[in-house]
Amino acid sequence: MQIKQSAHVIILTASLAVLASCGGAKKGITPTAEVPVEPVVQLGNVAEFDGLPQQLTAGEADNGIGAFHPAGDRVVFQSNRDGRWQIFELYLSDNAEFRLMESEANDENPHWMLNGNGALFVSDRDGQGQEYERDIYSYNPEDGQVVRITNAAGDDWYPVPFDSESFLFLSERNALPMALEFARSNTIYRGFIDGREAVEFVSADFDPSCPAQLPDDKVLVRTKDGRLARYVGADGSLEVLTPSDYRIGQITYNPVRNFAAFTARAVEPVYRLYLFDLNSKTLQACDTGQGEVRYPQFSPDGGSILFTQEVEGKFQLFLWKLAQ
C-alpha cells in the first residue's frame, strides 16, 4: 500500500504493501477560526490493560484496518494476501478467517454498519483503477449484493458509522481541482445507506480528517496541523485538545468510558498508541511493543481496543483488553 501524505493527513491507497495512517461546519454555519493554542494536558493513567496485546493475524501479507461487528464477536479487516486489497472477517473465538467478498478491484477501509446488517467499504472498482478516485460502497452479507453509495469527483473514503441509517466519511470533492493528490483538502460529509445525497458535516475550511463521533452533535477530528480537536456542530467551533508536538493519526472514541484513543508521533518518529481522557485532559502513552501502530478501534462494549501494528515488516491485527 502506497503512502499518500500531505501536511494535513496520511491516507490509505492501494499499490504497495504498506499500511499507512490515515469536514468543518454544516451548511449555513461559518466555521470559527482555528486558534493556534497550546492546550494544557497532563501525563498520567487513563486506563489499565489486562495483560499484553494479543496478535490476531500473521503471515507474509499485510493485514489490518480492522473494525468490530456490533455484536463484538468478530472483526472485519483488509488484507493484500492475493496481491490486491480484499476484505476478510475474523472470528475472535477461534481466530478463524473468512473472505467477506471478492473482486478484481482494491476494496479497503471496511466497517460494519451499526445495525450489523451490512458493511461499508471503499473501492476503486468504478474508478478505472485510479488510486485516489475511490467511492464508498455497501455490502449485504445475506445476498452478497454490493451497492455504490457515493459517486463524486475525487476520493471518498474513511467511512465511519454515525447512526443506523448514515455514516461520516472524508471527501476531496471540495478540493481545488488542480491540487496535487498529496495536497488536497478534506471535507467531512454525512452519507446515507439508502443512497440519498450526502450533506456537508465539517467544512473543508478546517481541512479535517479521521472523524470519531461524540455525543450531542460533536465529533473528534484530526486538524490539518495534526492536532486532536473537538468539533461542535451547533456553532461550528473547533476546540484544539492536544499540543503541537503530538502529530495525531487515527482516532477512536470509547462511549462507555468516555475517553479517546489515537495514534500519534511524539517522542519517536513513528506512530504509537495513546489514550486521552476528555474530561481531565490526561494523556497516557501505551506500550504496545516496538512496531508502528495504526487505526485503533474500540469494541462495542468499550472493553477492548483493536489496532494494527507492524511486525517484522508487515502489519498485523492486535487486540488489547482493558482491565475491568
pLDDT in tens, 82-107: 999 999 999 999 999 999 998 999 99
Cell numbers 469494541 correspond to 299
Q: How confident is the model at residue 49 (pLDDT cuts 50, 70, 90)?
A: very high
Give the containing element (helix H, strand E) for 135.
strand 135-139
Q: How confident is the model at residue 254 (pLDDT cuts 50, 70, 90)?
A: very high
Phi, psi values for residue 80, rounded to 5°? -110, 30
∠ CA 243-309-267, rounded to 5°: 30
Q: Cα dihedral sign for 34, 188, 306, 314?
A: negative
pTM > 0.95: yes or no: no
pLDDT digits (tens, 9 = 90+) for 95-151: 999 999 989 999 999 999 998 889 999 999 886 656 667 999 999 998 989 999 999
How many CB atoms are located within 10 Å of the residue 259 CB?
Answer: 20
Long-range contacts for 86-94 (Cβ within 8 Å, ≥24 apart)? 87/119, 87/121, 87/139, 88/63, 90/56, 90/57, 90/66, 90/317, 92/56, 92/319
Decide if pLDDT at 14 tops 60.
no
Sheet with 282-286, edge to edge strand ranges: 42-43, 282-286, 272-277, 259-265, 247-254
CA–CA distance from 179 to each of 23, 154, 184, 223, 312 (Å)? 18, 11, 6, 19, 36
Distance (Å, whole) CA 54 – CA 320: 6
Identity (one letter) of the amino acid at 249?
G
**Distance between terminal CA atoms of the chain?**
37
Q: How confident is the model at residue 153 (pLDDT cuts 50, 70, 90)?
A: confident
How many CB atoms are located within 10 Å of the residue 152 CB?
Answer: 15
As separate numbers, helices (DSSP H) first and strands (DSSP E) second, the chain gives 0, 27
Distance (Å, whole) CA 316 – CA 95: 13
The answer to whether residues 159 and 120 touch, using CB atoms and an 8 Å cutoff, is yes
pLDDT for position 115: 87
Decide if pLDDT at 70 tops 70.
yes
Q: How confident is the model at residue 3 (pLDDT cuts 50, 70, 90)?
A: very low
The mean pLDDT of the chain is 86
Q: Cα dihedral sign for 101, 146, 140, 123?
A: positive
| Residue 98: strand pairing partners | 89
Domains of the chain, start order: 3-321 (2.120.10.30)
Mean pLDDT confidence for 268-295 = 94
Closest by CA position to 104, among listed 140, 129, 79, 76: 129
Distance (Å, whole) CA 272 – CA 83: 28
Distance (Å, whole) CA 124 – CA 132: 8
Mean pLDDT confidence for 209-216 = 92
Decide if pLDDT at 201 tops 70.
yes
Phi, psi values for residue 181, rounded to 5°? -55, -30
The answer to whether residues 167 and 39 touch, using CB atoms and an 8 Å cutoff, is no
Distance (Å, whole) CA 276 – CA 227: 13
pLDDT for position 126: 82
